Structure 1
Amino acid sequence: MTAIEKRRMQVVEQEIHSAADERRERDLMISQITGELSLSPRQVGVAVSLLDEGNTIPFIARYRKEMTGELDENALRDVEERLGYLRSLGERKREVIRIIEEQGKLTEELRGQIVKAAKLQEVEDLYRPFRQKRKTRASVAKEKGLEPLANWILEQRRVGNPEEEASRYVDSDKGVESVAEALQGAQDIIAEGLADDPAIRSWVRQFTASQGILVSEAKDSEQESVYENYYSYREPVHKMPPHRILAINRGERENVLKVGIEVDTARIHAHVTRKLIKGPSPVKELLEAVAEDAYKRLIAPSVEREVRAEMTEKGENQAISIFSSNLRSLLLQPPVKGRRVLGVDPAYRTGCKLAAVDETGKLLEVAVTYPTPPHNKKREAAATFKSLIAKYGIKLIVIGNGTGSRETEQFTADTIQEIGDPELAYLIVNEAGASVYSASKLAQEEFPDLDVAERSAASIARRVQDPLAELVKIEPKAIGVGQYQHDVSQKHLDESLKAVVESAVNHVGVDVNTASPSLLSYVAGINSTIAKNIVKFREENGIFKNRKQLQKVPRLGAKSFEQCIGFLRIPEGENTLDRTPIHPESYDVVTRLFKELKLSLSQIGSKELASVLASQSPEELAAKLEVGVPTLRDILESLQRPGRDPREELPPPIFRTDVLKIEDLAPGMELQGTVRNVIDFGAFVDIGIKNDGLVHISQLSTSFVKHPMDVVSVGDNVTVWVIGVDLKKGRVSLTMRPPRSEAQGS
């Protein structure tokens, strides 16, 4: 065998070993994810394979149910997140092993410990003793040749004199001027080794997290601030709720609070000492001092940072979860269809910008009025309002909740009363992100002839007609419906919110003949380039008449087509199935289904067909048609309601014709409101006054509530009762517990 052939053989063998290692690592990951998420190995294995093949989560959740055992989007995202973490962990393990091996210090025992590590922190703890450090007291002592003295002390001999041993290392040329200096240097070396011990660090970290007390104090107790509740505050680390962690973090970051963790140092010293000292010896006192120094100087500061980082991560994860849930609820608000709308972007000095739009959101006219201070031109403003309402048959006035909104609301209510049309009403909407959209390139392209505020008024009007289609034009984190969203990892927040928008868009489905590039870009398998190409193709060739035409769109390849096509609808298409969520890969199943039931495709949309399909047994039919039960169940549901918009099943928003003032409120008063925001400790409800009222978590139900999101969501219409009014602070406390329940409870 030649040298070249040998080399080729070695390469092949390496590739075989590498492939085997990858399979083994993959199997370990699947096993770990299976245990963590309480899923079956088959479910996780199939999900991982589908993800690795480039399938999107909405596609897998909707069209690969048989393969995954009907894993939903949340479960699939959990698998994807854990898979990403474990793969990053695997890469880090390989890197750490390589570095330690290059140092010639890798043992089989250490390799095994690194390979078995389940968390990144464990890997870093194991790597810590081998990491290149900047100059430390221990490294200086080693340069002075004191490491043998440190080793002698660690032997803890029953006899011997540490001062005499240390005297051998006194050497002015090496910078060791005295016995005391020699002993101190040796102690510094031992202290650093102790601080780098993975087992000790892990124990101290766990003890601090489970037994520590977070202490918060004011840097200036005389200073007024929103953090006064935390000026002298103590709470066990493991009991702190996420929102409180982030609040204290913000107070510390703004230099108002001084924060630390108190812990029983005596117990920690005792533990570290037990690990270090073997028994009585002449160096016992030296080692006791080392244990105290190692913890106080080296272990405690870094462990406190690590524990607080874990707390912050807990707070961030919860904040992002709340923001995500609220955003999804907001995006899936039911559209208000069939109404011409007058959008109002309120303001004081610059006036209220108006935008009239038709039933499809097409801009009809813009105007500006000055009904609010400092102008107070109410008569002229009323004339403009009445003119636009009469000219375009406006039936709904939508007011943004920004600066001047309540004064504008009062003016609008008065104007509605003057007009006297019982069908005319107004609605306050969350205008968060409207200014971001108005100044964007997209808004400039949509409304090149309007100024920023006029674009904002048009966006506010469209938000009620189709919240999803309008809100996808805005960066998700600009639609502020959460708590402390500016205090969290923006990268993590962006990723989570993008996933929420993607999920909402694909849940509803998209009309490919009317959708904007912004909306299309969130469809599974479609990026911004493909989205723009779809719109361009539509403009150049006319509306799409069937789903197959999308294969002609530049850059929309076979994989993208497979992923997106089930979520794209053609309501007036040549093929009736193209307006349903049924994937083209299942069209032949529909054909066989109709043949089996002796039905016609022309009956789709009829009550007769819906009745026949509703009476079928999916299990029996699936066996006859040789198709999976979950897929057939979805097909039957889609055929019964082919043009269904899942948002329409939700109650519409509350329309108002008159204004309620905080002075009008009294305890016990019953009101109808709309949930505007849900947070850890309750929900804010719009009851038609300037500020939203708070329903504390304890007032959300007569039963125990673990988290407000278990009871309410953004956009919910709720009945509330007033339990307290603070006129000075403009705060209203509400309850969702009916008064009779309160009476019964007492």
Structure 2
Amino acid sequence: MEYLIDKLAQEFNIQPKQVQDTVELIDAGNTIPFIARYRKEVTGNLSDVLLRDLDARLTYLRKLQKRKEEIAGSIEEQGKLTPELAAAIDKAATLQEAEDLYLPYKQKKKTRASVAKEKGLEPLANKIYLQLDTEADLAEDAKNYINPEKGVETAEDALQGAMDIIAETISDNADYRKKIRRMVTEKGAVKSTVTKAFAEEKTEFENYYDYGEPVKKIANHRVLALNRGEKRKVLAVKIIDPAEEIRTYLKKSILRDKASGYLVSAIEDSYKRLIFPSIEREIRTELKEKAEESAIKMFALNLKKLLLQPPFKDKTTMGFDPAFRTGCKIAVLDPMGKLLDTATVYPTEPKNEVAKSEKILLGLIEKYKVDIISIGNGTASRESEQFVAEMLKKTDRPVQYIVVNEAGASVYSASELGAEEYPDINVSLRGAISIAGRLQDPLSDLVKIDPKHIGVGQYQHDVNQKELEKVLDDTVEDAVNNVGVNINRASVSLLKHVAGVNKTIAKNIIDYREQNGKFGSRKEIKKVKGLGAKAFEQCAGFLRIDDGDNILDNTGVHPESYKAVQNLLKSMGLTTADLEADKLAETVTRLNALDVKATAAMLEIGEPTLRDIIKELKKPGRDPRDSAPKPHLKSDVLSIEDLKPDMELVGTVRNVIDFGAFVDIGVHQDGLVHISQISDRYISHPTDVLSVGDVVTVKVLSVDVERKRIGLSMLV
């Protein structure tokens, strides 16, 4: 354990005690959001991001330690574990290094070498490898191993079997493999060519029909693109190795003055047949895993930014799900997200019932005092947007509209959850409800959808799905707990992501609410079936009650700190009544003047905890998302045909990827800002500058109407 603590401390550049205390918290069943928010004194104020990374690395190192113990135990059972080998296994820093050391002792399936050993050819192989006899002597000695009963008909058969044994011995040498792997990584290249079946066709992989790039330089997104092309049998992908240099290295390492041609042949065979194919698979797997890890992290970062976009609160919202033949589906939600009305209109092809559709929608706008229209960006979005822009000229209400990413809305519509929430609403109309909901409160609506379907990733269907699911679940959990959840209004979908709450407990919370009415205090949460003391500790600070008896229940202050808050307010001559809106300004002024260090000592709590308490007392009930810039609302419309080079526009970042960002500029097709056009200074990745939801000014560089491609620049 001490080794793990020291290694993690070194890798994350933090103190061993921080690691030790954090690991103890994790092992005790505490969630990452709880540790990050309410145990800052223990961890030394480590962020949730670092805690997630530390937890993942801890899991890997424990897995590595367990595997090293298994390997050492297996070799010891064979009676072959030397002190030197035991030390090498203990020193192995990766699973790959440990497996390399285990290779010579691992039980293998039938190989050419194992067959040769069964024929009794190992002594001959040892003679060749030791290089003590001349080639002529070896050829003569090989005759002694002829045994037709074992399938050794000639001396040549015996020599070939001996060389097979040597080839496998060389291949199993951990030092050779480590060196060769490094040489291929440093000097090899990834090469792709088009397969015969697609040689005359244009595909999305056309840029890779004859492509090469050094292994050590290839970008992660290109690795994933090549792998996808290979999976679809469009591309053939391989590693080009520095073969001659590697053969020279092996010969120099193995051969001595009396080396025979048999040993040289065995070295050649070992590299070509055994070592390189294995190293190639390992390197490609390593490239794939690295690329997948990068893609998953990128997806998670985009998802978190999307989930934390500011809500349009207190706005009656009309969801508009565009379509052609089947009609546009409409849903109106009140400011609290309650469904008020639905409709289906046909303002687009083939019916073109523009006047009739206008009458219906203008009627809904006036009846329900609609403030914003949320339009999905799918099929017929461009035509629907044009219709809405013209329609809004005919009402005196100051209604604006915004085009939102509708990814996942159709999945939600047909889901079990969608049917459960709106059992009496047609499947097709549920999509419009989702489109309106994700504008009113992105977090509450998007948690209902499998993150993979939200559409802010890159190659999300090509990566390790189990790992993707875990990281995205962690991301949703962090986002939900960062904002907090109103326990009297939240759905099961939202509640199940609160720290310490699972789906069963979330359903029990809803059941309790339905049977007993609203929760009046956080203490009452303890009455929920299945929610024990540990779960309450984890979740209480993240659950909010906005109209309860205690104003602290509507803050991020944990109940365990309520006594400290009362003592703080008492020392200032205040009460919780002074946190109400009409007195808050004066209270904030006094809180700002506090000597944090002295006050923390007086209250016998840590400074980080006191700082968080003060922060919460200064804004009880305030949503942390409110301070973020809201998406760009529109009242006009453009088409891709309207775009001209050098035109300047305001847009919203929809997706950030390794090589740039896609920006919605209001023409249905998002434009691409390549990484080279994001900043006039060097940036290593688009995320250095951009996040999903950012509102940016861009200049049009190029427009390809036929291929629906728009090139943009932020260098305006």
TM-score by length of 1: 0.94
Alignment of 1:610-629 (within 5 A): 610-629=588-607
Residues 1:634 and 2:612 are matched in the alignment: yes
Residues 1:711 and 2:686 are matched in the alignment: no
Offset from partner CA, 1:32-60 (integer Å, 9 cap, x none): 11121212111111110000000000000
Offset from partner CA, 1:680-709 (integer Å, 9 cap, x none): 111111111020111111111222121111
Match of 1:627, SS state, is: coil
Select the residue among 295, 298, 303 that pairs with 1:319: 295
- Say what the alpha-carbon RMSD is for the aligned residues: 1.2
Contact 1:614 1:640 in 2 (8 A): no
Residues 1:178 and 2:135 are matched in the alignment: no
Partner of 1:389: 365
Select the residue among 726, 735, 738 that pairs with 2:704: 726
Partner of 1:355: 331
Residues 1:228 and 2:203 are matched in the alignment: no
Q: Which moved more, 1:597-606 or 1:429-438?
A: 597-606
Q: CA deviation at 1:420?
A: 4.5
Match of 2:269, SS state, is: helix
Contact 1:725 1:732 in 2 (8 A): yes
Distance, in Å, in 2 between the alignment partners of 1:533 and 1:177 is: 77
Distance, in Å, in 2 between the alignment partners of 1:296 and 1:627 is: 66
Contact 2:184 2:241 in 1 (8 A): yes
Distance, in Å, in 2 between the alignment partners of 1:261 and 1:730 is: 35
Select the residue among 106, 116, 120 that pairs with 1:145: 120
Partner of 1:5: none
Letter in 1 for 2:91: K
Offset from partner CA, 1:626-675 (integer Å, 9 cap, x none): 21110000011110111121100011221111211222222222211111
Distance, in Å, in 2 between the alignment partners of 1:318 and 1:129 is: 34
Select the residue among 379, 386, 403 that pairs with 1:403: 379
Residues 1:210 and 2:186 are matched in the alignment: yes
Letter in 2 for 1:262: I
Match of 1:111, SS state, is: helix
Letter in 1 for 2:115: V
Q: CA deviation at 1:712?
A: 1.0
Structure 1: segments with no counterpart, 5+ residues:
1-25, 739-746
Letter in 1 for 2:700: V
Partner of 2:86: 111
Partner of 1:246: 224
Contact 1:214 1:261 in 2 (8 A): yes
Distance, in Å, in 2 between the alignment partners of 1:298 and 1:69 is: 50
Distance, in Å, in 2 between the alignment partners of 1:182 and 1:569 is: 79
Distance, in Å, in 2 between the alignment partners of 1:120 and 1:330 is: 36
Letter in 2 for 1:620: A
Letter in 2 for 1:328: K
Residues 1:595 and 2:570 are matched in the alignment: yes
Match of 1:427, SS state, is: strand
Residues 1:280 and 2:257 are matched in the alignment: yes
Partner of 1:559: 534
Letter in 2 for 1:653: P
Partner of 2:233: 255
Letter in 2 for 1:242: N
Distance, in Å, in 2 between the alignment partners of 1:728 and 1:71 is: 51
Distance, in Å, in 1 between the alignment partners of 2:595 and 2:384 is: 56
Q: CA deviation at 1:158?
A: 5.3
Distance, in Å, in 2 between the alignment partners of 1:729 and 1:175 is: 65
Contact 1:158 1:280 in 2 (8 A): no
Contact 2:377 2:668 in 1 (8 A): no
Alignment of 1:374-453 (within 5 A): 374-421=350-397, 423-453=398-428
Select the residue among 322, 342, 348 that pairs with 1:372: 348
Distance, in Å, in 2 between the alignment partners of 1:327 and 1:681 is: 18
Match of 2:216, SS state, is: helix
Letter in 2 for 1:660: L
Alignment of 1:14-29 (within 5 A): 26-29=1-4
Q: CA deviation at 1:284?
A: 2.6
Select the residue among 502, 527, 539 that pairs with 2:477: 502
Distance, in Å, in 1 between the alignment partners of 2:49 and 2:333 is: 37
Contact 1:653 1:715 in 2 (8 A): yes
Q: CA deviation at 1:477?
A: 1.3
Offset from partner CA, 1:263-290 (integer Å, 9 cap, x none): 211110111112222x211x43211111
Match of 1:484, SS state, is: coil
TM-score by length of 2: 0.98
Partner of 2:450: 475
Partner of 1:10: none
Q: CA deviation at 1:106?
A: 2.5
Partner of 2:60: 85
Match of 1:657, SS state, is: coil
Q: Which moved more, 1:240-249 or 1:99-108?
A: 99-108
Contact 2:328 2:345 in 1 (8 A): yes
Q: Percent identical across equivalent pairs?
A: 53
Partner of 1:200: 176
Q: CA deviation at 1:31?
A: 1.2
Q: Which moved more, 1:719-728 or 1:471-480?
A: 719-728
Partner of 1:608: 586
Partner of 1:303: 279
Residues 1:62 and 2:37 are matched in the alignment: yes
Partner of 1:135: 110
Distance, in Å, in 2 between the alignment partners of 1:153 and 1:672 is: 75
Structure 2: segments with no counterpart, 5+ residues:
none
Contact 2:402 2:633 in 1 (8 A): yes
Distance, in Å, in 1 between the alignment partners of 2:440 and 2:97 is: 52
Residues 1:533 and 2:508 are matched in the alignment: yes
Contact 1:349 1:375 in 2 (8 A): yes
Match of 1:469, SS state, is: helix
